[in-house]
Amino acid sequence: MSADPVTMFVVSAAKAVYDIKESRKQAEIEQQRYEAQKKAAQEIANQEAAERRETYLATIASNKATQAGSGFSMDSRSFLNIQEDVTKTFEKDIATIRLNVGTKVGDIGYAQDIAASQRRKEQFGGWTSIVSSGVEYKAKKDLYERK
């Protein structure tokens, strides 16, 4: 028992349209998820930088207190070298945190682009499926009418 070609076309076209709409919804959800991941990565990096800054400031203050308590001058070359070393380490740590978050956000953005591309491909495939089904069922209908 075979169905009318027009009915078959309508059914397959309706399914394809539904799939396209669902793909669009899923694409929006994915984009929101990726944006949330980017935001979370940035927030974690900001927290790490703030913690590192607090540690740096505490170390500098501790060094100054130790220096003052020992009776040596704050202009001492060894003291200034220690402070400079602490500052350089802090700056390197902050740069590393920024680099890491940039890499992570870049990776998330890359995954986001891939997912978006995949969804566009699905949606385009759905539309081409409708067109090809229409052509196929038109041909079947013409063949059916000739008999």
73: left (phi over 0), alpha (psi -120 to 50) or beta: beta
More confident residue, 51 or 144: 51
More confident residue, 142 or 24: 24
pLDDT computed for residue 1 by the predictor: 40
Written as one string, the DSSP assignment of 51-114 is HHHHHHHHHHHHHHHHHHHHT--TT-HHHHHHHHHHHHHHHHHHHHHHHHHHHHHHHHHHHHHH
Given a contact cutoff of 8 angstroms between Cβ atoms, the answer to whether 127 and 20 are in contact is: yes
pLDDT tens across 73-120, in order?
767 777 788 889 999 999 999 999 999 999 999 999 999 999 888 888
pLDDT tens across 108-124, in order?
999 999 988 888 888 88
Four-CA torsion 97, 98, 103, 108, nearest 10 degrees:
100
Q: How many other CB atoms are found less than 10 A from the CB of residue 16? A: 19
Backbone angles phi, psi at 45, to 5 degrees: -65, -40
Angle at 121 between CA 117 and CA 125, to 5 degrees: 170
CA distances from 74 to 58, 64, 84, 85 (A): 17, 8, 13, 15
Amino acid at 29: I
